[in-house]
Amino acid sequence: MSLPAIPNIFKLNRGTGSPRRLQDNLTIFLFLLPGLILFLVFVIYPIFQSIYYSMFNWKGFGPAEDFVGLDNFKNILGDKVFMIALRNAFLLIVFSLLLQLPLSLILAVMVGRDLPGRAFFRTIFFMPYVISEVITAIMWLFLLNPNPNRGFVNAVIVAFGGEAQPWLGDTTLVLPSLFIALTWKYFGFHMLLYMAGLQNIPHEIEEAGRIDGASAFQNFFYITLPLLGSTIRTSVYLSVLGSIQQFILVWIMSKGGPVNASETLATYMIRFGFVRFQLGYGSAVAIYMFLICVTFSLLYQRLTRQPDYLTGL
Amino acid sequence: MSRKIYTLLSLLIVAAFVLSACGNGASTEAPPSEPDAPAATEPPASEDKVTVTWWHITTDERQAAVWQTLADGYMAEHPNVNIEISILENEAFKTKLTTVMQSGEPPDIFQSWGGGVMNEYIAAGLMKDITADLDANGGEWRNRFSPGALGVYSLDGKNYGVPWDMGMVGFWYNKDLFAQAGIDAPPTTWDELLEDVKTLKAAGITPIALGEGDKWPGHFWFGYLATRICGQEGFQAAASRTGSFTDPCFVKAGNKILELNALEPFQDGFLGATYGDQSTVMGNGEAAMELMGQWAPGAQAGNSADGQGLGDKLGFFPFPAVAGGAGAATDAFGGGNGFGIGKDAEPEAVDFVKWLTTAEAQVACAEAGFCIPVVKGGEAGLSDPLLITLQQTLAKAEYFQLYYDQALPPAVGSVVNDSVQGIFAGTLTPEQAVQAIEDSAAQEIK
């Protein structure tokens, strides 16, 4: 999915005179300015504000006065709960890449073909993504209720002779339970990405493969998958960033509990920044999250080489 | 030619953005100023239009109508005053209040629970000192309240708000389930409670409902046990830093939780359950008791399948005595609701709060079933026998312990809740839990 080389877009005017070019640039600049201002005010300025506050012991009321240098950053690294949050973020990433994305891809290939009723399945699969995250979380709260009389999942298990499980009330079950809810919510989105990618692959190539005697599997692994490369890169990128920043679903379903077992970086930041009124500390957590995301983004861009314009957000 | 139009257009867009940005962004952050001992606010005499903003969290329609009626009555008598009421759901209120507090613009009157959070606001100069108003006319306003309840809204001898409700935590139990298990009287000691738990368990009944996912319901257990074992001195010493939360009495309180926990008395999945789940379990008659505040009957009814709750089957008994503890068995643990006064409140706002805390107003809210009156004469509004029992138990208490997570600074309170959850989950020993609380207290309380 390579875009035309960028400079061409801007060569609106073939004139070579420099006043003309200056005027062009001015127009471009003026058109960019509104967006730039919004970006500076709502993205760049808060980042620097966070950096400033992260060096204070500050409760959020009145001016920050108690300067503590880099203590907040040191304390975070020494906090066991932060390590749990990091581990959970890592686990979510691994689960997403190994389970969620392959599942989305398989479904995309299935509903992308000329199956009867594929429009119906496409809609159904995409539906969870349209529902708000809060509603999703509350729905899953009901489904996972530990009491088999109220929780559908446990009711099914009991009906088949199993034992009801305290899904969200158990320190080992809570993360997998949340992951199931997350997968349910997001697989449709990734499926849609893959479907868009699949549509860009010319039929002729697959057809040629088939004529040359490639099996369906060979066709998929040697033609479809490589040609889907840039879409997969985008999807992996979004999935990883989403896992790092995941908040709403976790906060509503488990509040990061029990005893921090499902803490993510974002719930950790809210718990220590806002619930405990330690906004300086919370800002330092935000800086760490920012650094993690930026480092990942840069490394990822570097490692996957081919620039991927879709990821710009 | 068209280029000129482009340039013009883009300039216009830029100007629009810049101007609109300037228009909104003018929130001034006033530095906290310490007004020195303000005089009692004059009785409002001016005919100028005054708007009083009031945020409360009484969302129930019938109960909110009580506040509205009182506000309407006041506005009828004071035509120049306009009272703007915002009704917010509890959690939404906390979030929204924190936001306006951070921008330094509190509402004139707002829901407050006193304690550590209020103290933070006071320290930042966001609340109004109304001591002089309370003492005006020979302390006419001050003398309306029971001193314990009023004290919750004061810091260093100055008042920043007044109570309108004060309740306590205790056991709400299902009489039918107790009878079914063959228990004829509620327990009066901790050991009896443990025995009853065993008896209930043996009868196939879930003894206790607990929504420990929300953490604060479990903190009641720890707080009450510590109040019984450490007594008033123990807590106050630790909270004022002359003592420590690692004192053996706090560890003992944690060990009592372990004793209880070993009996597996809670409903399945209690570690992930919310308080809503807890009251559902109680309201549907699926567990025999819960340790909860005065709002429990209402919450049980609201969360039960039939919307009725337990009705006559519901009973109340105070937290049992713990053998060898320093605290009296009558000491109460709980909290209540009050009106906090924002720093920019006009004299009319203070006058209106006086209006809201008359005996008549208290009778009205007690009749609507959402307060345990703190103003003398207000208890006439109570008709529910359980609430009368609770109010009388409360009146007998010589020491009133505000919820730990309210009394302590927010950071410490949150560590208490987190650590106690750790004890319930078995991931923290009582020693580790109190150490965590101590570490946070050492850092936060200076």
The pLDDT of residue B444 = 83
Residue B10's pLDDT band (boundaries 50, 70, 90)? low
Last residue of a domain, one of B372, B393, B414: B393
Residues A143-154: what's their mean pLDDT?
88
CB contact under 8 A, A145 and B268: no
Total tally of structural domains belonging to chain B? 2
The pLDDT of residue A2 = 46
Residues B287 and B433 in one domain: yes
Q: A166 contacts in B (CB within 8 Å)?
A: 268-272
The pLDDT of residue B31 = 40
Q: Where are the domains of chain A?
A: 1-53, 72-312
**On the CB side of B105, how many CA atoms lie within 13 Å of its CA?**
9
- Whether the per-residue pLDDT at A130 is higher than 50: the answer is yes
- Whether the per-residue pLDDT at A11 is higher than 60: the answer is no
Output the furthest CA–CA distance in chain A (Å, rounded): 83
Of B3, B215, B411, the CB nearest to A277: B411
Is B1 within the bounds of a domain? Answer: no
- Whether the per-residue pLDDT at B30 is higher than 80: the answer is no
* Residue B361 token pair: 């107003």
Distance CA B411, CA A292 (A): 26
- Whether the per-residue pLDDT at A313 is higher than 50: the answer is no
Residues B51-56: what's their mean pLDDT?
95
Bridge partners of B341? B109
Is A75 buried (19+), middle (13-18) or exposed (0-12) by CB count in 10 A? middle
Tell me how long chain B is: 446
The pLDDT of residue B33 = 42
Tell me how long chain A is: 313
Q: Which residue has the tokens 């927010």?
A: B410
The pLDDT of residue B40 = 56
Residues B300 and B201 in one domain: yes
CB contact under 8 A, A34 and B17: yes
Tell me the three-class secondary structure of chain A, residue by residue. Answer: CCCCCCHHHHCCCCCCCHHHHHHHHHHHHHHHHHHHHHHHHHHHHHHHHHHHHCCECCCCCCCCCCECCCHHHHHHHCCHHHHHHHHHHHHHHHHHHHHHHHHHHHHHHHHHCCCCCHHHHHHHHHHHHHCCHHHHHHHHHHHCCCCCCCCHHHHHHHHCCCCCCCHHHCCCCHHHHHHHHHHHHHHHHHHHHHHHHHHCCCHHHHHHHHHCCCCHHHHHHHHHHHHCHHHHHHHHHHHHHHHHHCCHHHHHHCCCCCCCCCCCHHHHHHHHHHHCCCHHHHHHHHHHHHHHHHHHHHHHHHHHCCCCHHHHC
Residue A276's pLDDT band (boundaries 50, 70, 90)? confident
Distance CA B61, CA B196 (A): 39
The pLDDT of residue A100 = 92
- Whether the per-residue pLDDT at A312 is higher than 50: the answer is no
Which CATH number, 3.90.1150.10, 3.20.80.10, 1.10.287.130, 1.10.3720.10, labels domain A72-312?
A: 1.10.3720.10
Of B121, B281, B418, the CB nearest to A61: B121
Q: Which helix (H) or strand (E) holds B173?
A: strand B170-174
**Which range, of A57-61, B37-41, B275-279, B397-401, averages the lowest pLDDT?**
B37-41
Q: What is the pLDDT of residues B60-115, one digit of tens each?
A: 888 899 999 999 999 999 999 999 999 998 888 988 998 899 888 999 999 999 98
Residues B291 and B365 in one domain: no
Residues B147 and B245 in one domain: no
Distance CA A167, CA A141 (A): 10
Residue A274's pLDDT band (boundaries 50, 70, 90)? confident
Is A45 buried (19+), middle (13-18) or exposed (0-12) by CB count in 10 A? exposed
The pLDDT of residue B52 = 94
Kindly state whether A242 is in contact with chain B, defined as any CB-CB distance less than 8 angstroms: no
The pLDDT of residue A110 = 83
- Whether the per-residue pLDDT at B426 is higher than 70: the answer is yes
Distance CA B392, CA A10 (A): 81
Percent of chain B with pLDDT over 70: 89
Q: B21 contacts in A (CB within 8 Å)?
A: 37, 41
Residue B395's pLDDT band (boundaries 50, 70, 90)? confident
Q: Specify which of A107-116, A142-151, B151-160, B220-229 reaches the highest per-range mean pLDDT.
A: B220-229
Residues B124 and B252 in one domain: no
Residues B320-347: what's their mean pLDDT?
92
Q: What is the pLDDT of residues B220-273, one digit of tens each?
A: 999 999 999 999 899 989 998 999 999 999 999 999 999 999 999 999 989 989
Percent of chain B with pLDDT over 90: 59
The pLDDT of residue A3 = 46
Residues B379 and B436 in one domain: no
The pLDDT of residue A59 = 82
Residues A218-239: what's their mean pLDDT?
89
Residues A219-223: what's their mean pLDDT?
87
**On the CB side of B131, how many CA atoms lie within 13 Å of its CA?**
12
The type of residue at A122 is R
Residues A276-303: what's their mean pLDDT?
91
Residues B65 and B139 in one domain: yes
- Threshold 0.80, pTM exceeds: no
Is B398 within the bounds of a domain? Answer: no
Q: What is the pLDDT of residues B266-310, one digit of tens each?
A: 999 899 898 989 999 999 999 999 999 988 988 898 888 888 889
Is B41 within the bounds of a domain? Answer: no
Instruction: Considering only residues A21 and B197, tell me which one the structure prediction assigns the higher pLDDT.
Output: B197
Is B87 within the bounds of a domain? Answer: yes
Task: Show the domain range for B238.
Answer: 170-333+403-444
- Pairing of the two strands B206-208 and B332-341: unpaired
The pLDDT of residue B191 = 95
The pLDDT of residue B39 = 55
A-chain residue closest to B105, CA distance: A61
Is B63 within the bounds of a domain? Answer: yes
Mean pLDDT of chain A: 86
**Residue B360: DSSP 8-state:** H
Is B179 within the bounds of a domain? Answer: yes
The pLDDT of residue A93 = 93
The domain spanning residue B381 has which CATH number? 3.40.190.10
**Which range, of A39-53, A145-159, B45-59, averages the lowest pLDDT?**
B45-59
> Is it true that the peptide bond before A258 is cis, omega within 30 degrees of 0?
yes
A-chain residue closest to B102, CA distance: A61
Closest chain A C-alpha to B32 CA, distance in angstroms: 7
Residues A180-201: what's their mean pLDDT?
91
The pLDDT of residue B391 = 86
Chain A segment 252-271 residues within 8 A of B by beta carbon are 254-255, 257-260, 271
Residues A49-78: what's their mean pLDDT?
88
Residues B202 and B234 in one domain: yes
Instruction: Considering only residues A83 and A112, tell me which one the structure prediction assigns the higher pLDDT.
Output: A83
- Whether the per-residue pLDDT at A303 is higher than 90: the answer is no
- Whether the per-residue pLDDT at B339 is higher than 50: the answer is yes
Residues B287 and B179 in one domain: yes
Residues B268 and B367 in one domain: no
Residues B408-435: what's their mean pLDDT?
92
Residue A4's pLDDT band (boundaries 50, 70, 90)? very low
Q: What is the pLDDT of residues B178-226, one digit of tens each?
A: 999 999 999 999 999 999 999 999 999 999 999 998 899 999 999 999 9
- Whether the per-residue pLDDT at B19 is higher than 90: the answer is no
The pLDDT of residue A299 = 92
Chain B segment 55-114 residues within 8 A of A by beta carbon are 98, 101-102, 104
3-state secondary structure of B375: strand
**Residue B357: DSSP 8-state:** T
Residue A306's pLDDT band (boundaries 50, 70, 90)? low
Residues A197-219: what's their mean pLDDT?
86
Residues B137 and B280 in one domain: no
Is B18 within the bounds of a domain? Answer: no
Specify whether the backbone of B27 is left (phi greater than 0), alpha (psi in -120 to 50) or beta: beta
The pLDDT of residue B26 = 35
The pLDDT of residue B27 = 36
Is B315 within the bounds of a domain? Answer: yes
Closest chain A C-alpha to B198 CA, distance in angstroms: 22
Chain B segment 310-329 residues within 8 A of A by beta carbon are none
Percent of chain A with pLDDT over 70: 91
Of A38, A60, A259, the CB nearest to B102: A60
Q: Choosing among B10, B22, B118, which should be mutated to test the A contact, i.e. which has the most A CBs within 10 A?
A: B10
Mean pLDDT of chain B: 87
